Amino acid sequence: MSVEHKTDSRQMLGRLREVMAEDAHGQARLDRITALIASSMHTEVCSVYLFRDAETLELCATEGLKPEAVHQTRMRLGEGLVGRVARTAKIVNTADAPAEAGFRYMPETGEEIYSSFAGVPIQRLGETLGVLVVQSKEARKYTEEELYALEVVAMVLAEMAELGAFIGDSAALSARHTKPVLFRGSCAQEGSAEGHVWLHEPRVVITNPIAEDPAKEAERLTEAVDRLRVSVDQMLEGASADAEHLQVLEAYRMFANSKGWMRRMQADITSGLSAEAAVEKEQTQARLRLSTASDPYLRERLHDLDDLSNRLLRILTGQGTETGAEMPADPILVARNIGPAELLDYGRSLRGIVLEQGSVGSHAAVVARALAIPLVIHAKDITNEALNGDHIMVDGDQGIAHLRPEDTVTTAFRDKIAMQAKAQERYASIRDTPAVTKCGTQISLTMNAGLMADLPSLESSGAEGVGLFRTELQFLIRNKMPTRSELSSIYSHVLDNAGGKRVVFRTLDIGSDKVLSYMKPAEEPNPALGWRAIRVGLDKPGVMRMQLQALIRAANGRPLTVMFPFVAQYDEYRAAKAELARTLERERILGHVLPEKVELGAMLETPSLAFAPKAFFEEVEFLSIGGNDLKQFFFAADRENERVRRRYDTLNVSFLTFLQRIVERCEETNTPLSFCGEDAGRPLEAVCLAAMGLRALSMRPASIGPVKSLLLRVDLVALREVIEEAAARGEQSVRRAVLDHLRNTSA
């Protein structure tokens, strides 16, 4: 890269700074910029195309093409050379544009006399805002130095657009972050909420993209990088001995000390960018590579570099996570991702949560369910679009979020919330009514829990007890293993708050998607089928023993109910039962008060356990079907995989037949059986489960009212006949037949 190029680039940015300082409207400023670039690049044409919507680019300013084409010439994403640059976010540089594949001739622009073409994406942090184009009559390719200069200018244009420098009458020139946007994600926790955006990591705003004094900017960058390196070293010194945690921090240190990273940013500053803009330019390139990387290791490393760039930007700008902004009274949390401990810090103050990443089985999703907060995941790019204080509506049922919604959407959404509120009033009126169907069958409805915050719902929801208490949450929200006394205190409070109602404590269910930060994870090709739950407990008996001791001491003479997760065969249950017996004997010898009664059960989450010997069903004191895992293994459909998880229906005849077989086996041995999982909390699925013979359902507290309301109006005998008739007709799912039956009987 020549010195002459650097000087030219700096001069062009210097002239750009003068244009930015002028008292001009958006269109006039953009027109001046295209003329300036064409003059500086010694080329006949410079044009700026910006997105008017997600799929359409519009010519917003030009020097050299016909002026009447401005705001009239449009093209679809991917159409023509400009559309290709916008779609791929890659430079197109050709000496013979008409000969390029996909070239689109636009006669209204008068561009037919220009042969050469160079298009550079205008992008910020992985988001493409438009395309900067230069053209000339001479058939030549633009040099690397010229393309680099265009990239630097495009970076500044992106920052100017972010700051609202080009606001005008055209849709493509409308103010950034003011348009209504609909984000389609996935449902991780049902419910609806309206509020205002609260960004977990507020965006860094760069107000000075152009360097006035490159030497001073280079010095600022060096000082900031030195501070960054010190902070990473301090994190390493204070880190736990966990290998994975150390590996991440070592990657941070490697990037923080990367000479290539530093050299590229210094070159950007020499070309005329400010220190902040130089960091963000490199961050944008990292995000672009991140979006196309298929190698998981490379993706993780690029994510590390992206995170490190954010830290460096906050040092340079002084914009830490504490920005001085005040959290709104009705906050909807928006983030790329979030851990369970951070989410618990917010607690019930949140109305809803929208994440760019996440999964239905993630720790954050588990906490959101516990707090009954609507959660939408996979809302792509929402952190780039949302600003603190933006009006937002979250529909967890549909997995969508309306950012800055139009009035018609707001009205319809509020009507939906009002209807849900009326329904909740109706559910409150039947809170203390037993769930007895029209045919006289009583169904036990209990709630799932995992946090102390869940327990007030035991009274308000009308739940008969806690059918599943997830003990792993107490491990997941800490950065080190909880002590036995800490666990004992927590479990004791749970029993105290239950007020004598039955609480089923599921022992530690880690592995698969639940990885403890302080425990080295096993490298497994398919963790959901790997070393998890009871398998971990049996291989690490010290952890299981510690938890069982905590449960026994928490009971302090009261009845205790314990359930082992993910039992796949009889021998695993017997081994776990033997460990409990040894622990009880050890506690007796130590003089601790033993529970009045210990009830011991297992979760049936693998098809294999349904075919266990009869002796298992006779020995186990109760069984709970873990519907989420059982369904994914039954259909061989990973519930974390969005492509397949919704393809298989709980009301599929084959799955219902399988559940019926489990019910019959339990009836043979008088083994109490319940169903626990998301489907238990869906009214339609719940009544079908009851019709198949399940007499106990455990669900999130908010689902008890809707499920009970439908159970009170259903004749299970008649519903069973409908299911059997649909199966006899060869229907794959009974859903349609059941819906028709319920509509007809309620009409």
- The pLDDT tens digits for 638-668 are 776 767 767 788 999 999 999 999 999 999 9
Task: List, in sequence order, every residue forming a beta bridge with 698; answer none if it has no partner.
Answer: 446, 676
Q: What angle do CA 643, 645, 648 make, to 5 degrees?
A: 115
Q: Which of 146-155, 163-172, 191-200, 486-495 shows the lowest per-residue confidence on average (mean pLDDT)?
A: 163-172
Of 288, 282, 284, 296, which Cα lies nearest the Cα of 88?
Answer: 288
Q: How far is CA 306 from CA 252, 315, 363, 621, in A?
A: 10, 15, 23, 52
CB atoms within 10 A of CB 167: 17
Q: Give the integer Cα–Cα distance in Å for 67 and 60.
A: 10
110: left (phi over 0), alpha (psi -120 to 50) or beta: left
Q: Which of 73-82, 208-217, 354-363, 523-532 shows the lowest per-residue confidence on average (mean pLDDT)?
A: 523-532
Q: CA 25: distance to chain centroid?
A: 39
pLDDT at 331: 93
- The two structure tokens encoding residue 553: 């001491």
- Could you tell me the end-to-end alpha-carbon distance of the chain, in angstroms, rounded to an integer? 78
Q: Give the helix/strand (H/E) hosting 426.
A: helix 407-429
Has residue 742 got a pLDDT over 90? Answer: yes
Q: Give the integer Cα–Cα distance in Å for 347 and 609.
A: 38
Would you say 680 and 435 are in contact if contact means Cβ atoms under 8 Å apart?
no
pLDDT at 248: 62
Query: Is 363 noted as a catalytic residue in this protein?
Result: yes
Q: Give the helix/strand (H/E) hosting 476.
A: helix 473-476
234: left (phi over 0), alpha (psi -120 to 50) or beta: alpha
Please state the length of the chain: 747
Q: Give the integer Cα–Cα distance in Å for 5 and 507.
A: 66
pLDDT at 3: 36
Would you say 355 and 379 are in contact if contact means Cβ atoms under 8 Å apart?
yes
What is the average pLDDT across 698-713?
Answer: 92
Q: How far is CA 238 from CA 225, 232, 241, 242, 335, in A?
A: 20, 10, 9, 12, 26
Q: Give the helix/strand (H/E) hosting 232.
A: helix 214-237
Q: Give the integer Cα–Cα distance in Å for 194 and 394.
A: 6
Q: Give the integer Cα–Cα distance in Å for 253 and 243.
A: 15
Residue type, 446: T
Residue type, 281: K
Model confidence band, residue 292 (pLDDT cutoffs 50, 70, 90) = low
3-state SS assignment for residue 597? coil
Would you say 142 and 93 are in contact if contact means Cβ atoms under 8 Å apart?
yes
Given the residues 363, 378, 402, 741, select the one marked as catalytic. 363
Residue type, 16: L
Of 349, 332, 324, 350, which Cα lies nearest the Cα of 391?
Answer: 332
Q: Give the integer Cα–Cα distance in Å for 24 and 564.
A: 70
461-502 per-position pLDDT tens digit:
889 999 999 888 777 666 677 889 989 999 999 999 898 999
Q: How far is CA 532 from CA 508, 509, 528, 616, in A?
A: 9, 7, 8, 21
pLDDT at 514: 53
Q: How far is CA 645 from CA 147, 409, 591, 636, 679, in A?
A: 45, 29, 50, 9, 13
Would you say 677 and 361 are in contact if contact means Cβ atoms under 8 Å apart?
no
Of 299, 301, 431, 334, which Cα lies nearest the Cα of 708?
Answer: 431
Model confidence band, residue 242 (pLDDT cutoffs 50, 70, 90) = very low
- In the DSSP assignment, the letter for residue 515 is -
Q: Give the helix/strand (H/E) hosting 285.
A: helix 275-292
310-349 per-position pLDDT tens digit:
888 888 887 655 555 678 999 999 988 887 767 777 877 8
Has residue 244 got a pLDDT over 70? Answer: no
For 684-718, b/e burial (b = at least 16 CB within 10 A) is bbbbbbbbbbbebbbbbbbbbbbbbbbbeebbbee
The residues near 267 (Cβ < 8 Å, ≥ 6 apart) are: 1, 6
Q: Give the integer Cα–Cα distance in Å for 354 and 712.
A: 35
Q: Cα dihedral angle (395, 707, 473, 556), rounded to 10 degrees? A: 150
pTM, 2 dp: 0.67
Given the residues 60, 666, 676, 688, select the one marked as catalytic. 676
Residue type, 89: A
pLDDT at 693: 96
Residue type, 561: T
352-408 per-position pLDDT tens digit:
999 988 776 666 777 787 777 899 998 988 988 888 889 999 998 888 999 999 888
Of 53, 33, 211, which Cα lies nearest the Cα of 133?
Answer: 33
CB atoms within 10 A of CB 635: 18
The mean pLDDT of the chain is 85
pLDDT at 298: 63
pLDDT at 6: 39
What is the average pLDDT across 76-103?
Answer: 91
Q: 467 or 106, which is more confident? A: 467
- In the DSSP assignment, the letter for residue 410 is H
Q: Give the integer Cα–Cα distance in Å for 209 and 196.
A: 29
Percent residues over pLDDT 90 in the chain: 44
Say if residue 648 is exposed, middle or buried (CB neighbours under 10 Å; 0-12, 13-18, 19+). Answer: middle
What phi, psi does 58 have (nearest 5°)?
Answer: -130, 135
Q: Give the integer Cα–Cα distance in Å for 263 and 284.
A: 16
Of 741, 685, 679, 740, which Cα lies nearest the Cα of 711?
Answer: 685
511-568 per-position pLDDT tens digit:
655 555 545 555 655 666 766 778 888 888 888 899 999 999 999 999 999 999 999 9
Has residue 287 got a pLDDT over 80? Answer: no
pLDDT at 402: 93
Residue type, 470: R
Q: 720 or 172, which is more confident? A: 720
- The two structure tokens encoding residue 167: 């606001």
Would you say 538 and 503 are in contact if contact means Cβ atoms under 8 Å apart?
no
What is the average pLDDT across 660-679?
Answer: 95
Would you say 371 and 348 are in contact if contact means Cβ atoms under 8 Å apart?
yes
The residues near 280 (Cβ < 8 Å, ≥ 6 apart) are: 124, 125, 155, 159, 204, 206, 309, 313
What phi, psi does 74 have (nearest 5°)?
Answer: -135, 155
CB atoms within 10 A of CB 613: 10
3-state SS assignment for residue 268? helix
Of 693, 674, 668, which Cα lies nearest the Cα of 437?
Answer: 693
Query: Is 666 noted as a catalytic residue in this protein?
Result: no
CB atoms within 10 A of CB 398: 14
Query: Between 3-21 and 259-270, two packed helices, what is the crossing angle to 10 degrees?
Result: 60
pLDDT at 339: 72
Q: Give the integer Cα–Cα distance in Å for 195 and 198.
A: 9
Has residue 294 got a pLDDT over 50? Answer: yes
Q: Which of 23-32, 243-252, 409-418, 463-472 shows the lowest per-residue confidence on average (mean pLDDT)?
A: 243-252
Q: Give the helix/strand (H/E) hosting 192.
A: strand 192-199
The residues near 71 (Cβ < 8 Å, ≥ 6 apart) are: 58, 59, 60, 170, 172
Q: Give the integer Cα–Cα distance in Å for 738 and 559.
A: 40
Q: Give the helix/strand (H/E) hosting 506.
A: strand 503-506
Has residue 119 got a pLDDT over 80? Answer: yes
- In the DSSP assignment, the letter for residue 595 is P
What is the Cα Rg of the chain in Å?
A: 31
Has residue 450 got a pLDDT over 90? Answer: no
